[in-house]
Structure 1
Amino acid sequence: MRTVLWDLDGTILDSEGLAKDGTRHGFLEILGRAPTADEFARLVGRPVRLVYRAWFGDELGQQVLDAGSKHYDAHVEEIVSYEGVHTVLQELKRLGYRQGIVSSKRREKIVRELVLNGMEALFDTVVGQQDTDMHKPYPDPLLLAVTRLGVTARDCVYIGDQPSDMEAARAAGMQSIAALWGEGDMARLRAVNPACCARKPDDVLDFLLGDSTMTASKGAL
């Protein structure tokens, strides 16, 4: 297993708080109300543009998205990576692993945030929202990354913080690692049977380098 694919928000970058602030701002400015807890939950890990289109229609959905995006963009430089993640990415690069990003965020935004955090050179491919018609939990974006890298799914592992990440990995025929150091919830992620539940980024290295205690059957470290 020499290829590691990563989710971005809530896994590499601590961006979910700002994303929620942007969502709230867009709702308040255009709809005159805050999002409900259910609406927040249904947006996690999904392409916001497409969800808004389904909820509000093309024109109103775009207005809500634009207002929220403006707020997010004004504060994007405040986003940082989770402690320890950058070091793990660098170590995997040093060990010869190929790495990619597979996210429901638009590609240009992914690249901008990687550049701001000095991480762009660590990844061999970036798959964003516009690159596939179907999104997680469907396997399409993961399979596109596999194709671009010229590897097979069985040689990859996907790391993410949401059940949809684990489901997409399973559908693509690859193992998954549940990231618990950010937004990931142990109970929800264990329910979809990842190969490993990692409490901290260093646990990813333990799993990849063969520490058998990291298997999901024995729980998270």
Structure 2
Amino acid sequence: MIKAVLFDLDGTLIDTNELIFNSFSHAFKSVLNMELPQKEITTMFGRPLKYSFEKYTQDKLEEMIHSYRSYNEERHDNMCFAFDGVKDMLGKLKEMGIKLAVVTSKRKVLAERGMKIAGIYEMFDIIVSPENTEKHKPEGEPALKACELLGVLPEEALMVGDSHLDILCGQNAGCKTCGVKYTTLQIKELEARKPDFFIDNPLDVISVIEEKAV
């Protein structure tokens, strides 16, 4: 029986895909004078920035992070929306008594800001961000931390995300996992991780919870 749902944030609950892509593109162009293809940039989605950038530079790592964050935060509030169906889905889960967590690689201050703009902040019991754990996605520690804070066992939790990193995080923690087919990332990579469930839209999470309750 599922007692808690752990959601990735960007690309799963809120649509910030264009903002994130543009922020990466800006950082690479302005600091390293590099123009990377979209497919390469999207592989970096969902990781803490340090791990995304260190492959390309060590000397200018902090400058890359600063460039990304400056561009991102300046435009964030105008490019941050809840996906259709997210608010209804979260409301139904609350009515069902399901505990809710966001497990994100985004800094807590910006995660909270985005959730408030999208109108979903008050629906969540906890937020687990990179500040809360030593290890990050795809390691299981963020999901385990969320389960600990919510007071549920990992096997009683469902991890939902748009990235293979989310699926691996849930699997490494011992949670059930659910991929979202509305991802803008490489769907084949998500499928290769063999999540327990796939959903076409946010409201489909309700059906997954009801199926596991049988």
Shift of 1:51: 2.8
Q: Give matches, 1:162-177, under 5 Å.
A: 162-177=163-178
The aligned residue for residue 134 of structure 1 is 135
TM-score, structure 2 length as denominator?
0.91
Cα distance between partner residues in 1 of 2:71 and 2:82:
20
What is the alpha-carbon root mean square deviation over aligned residues? 1.9
Shift of 1:37: 4.5
Cα distance between partner residues in 2 of 1:181 and 1:116:
21
* Structure 1 pair 190–28 and aligned structure 2 pair: CA distance change class (3 A): closer
> Higher relative CO (CA 8 A, sep ≥ 6), structure 1 or 2?
2
Cα distance between partner residues in 1 of 2:186 and 2:23:
22
Q: Which amino acid aligns with 2:9?
A: L
The aligned residue for residue 215 of structure 1 is none
Cα distance between partner residues in 2 of 1:161 and 1:85:
14
The aligned residue for residue 32 of structure 1 is 33
Cα distance between partner residues in 1 of 2:194 and 2:91:
27
The aligned residue for residue 94 of structure 1 is 95
Shift of 1:38: 6.0
Q: Which amino acid aligns with 2:11?
A: G
Shift of 1:211: 7.8
Cα distance between partner residues in 1 of 2:50 and 2:13:
22
The aligned residue for residue 67 of structure 1 is 67
How many residues align structurally? Answer: 211
Q: Give matches, 1:37-186, under 5 Å.
A: 37=38, 39-57=40-58, 60-78=60-78, 79-183=80-184, 185-186=186-187
- Structure 2 unaligned runs (5+)? none
Does the 8 A contact of 2:21 with 2:42 survive in 1?
no
Shift of 1:64: 1.4
Q: Which runs of 4+ in 1 moved over 6 A?
A: none
Instruction: Give the match's secondary structure for 1:209.
Output: helix
Shift of 1:147: 0.9
Instruction: Give the match's secondary structure for 2:61.
Output: helix
Shift of 1:25: 1.0
- Structure 1 unaligned runs (5+)? 213-221
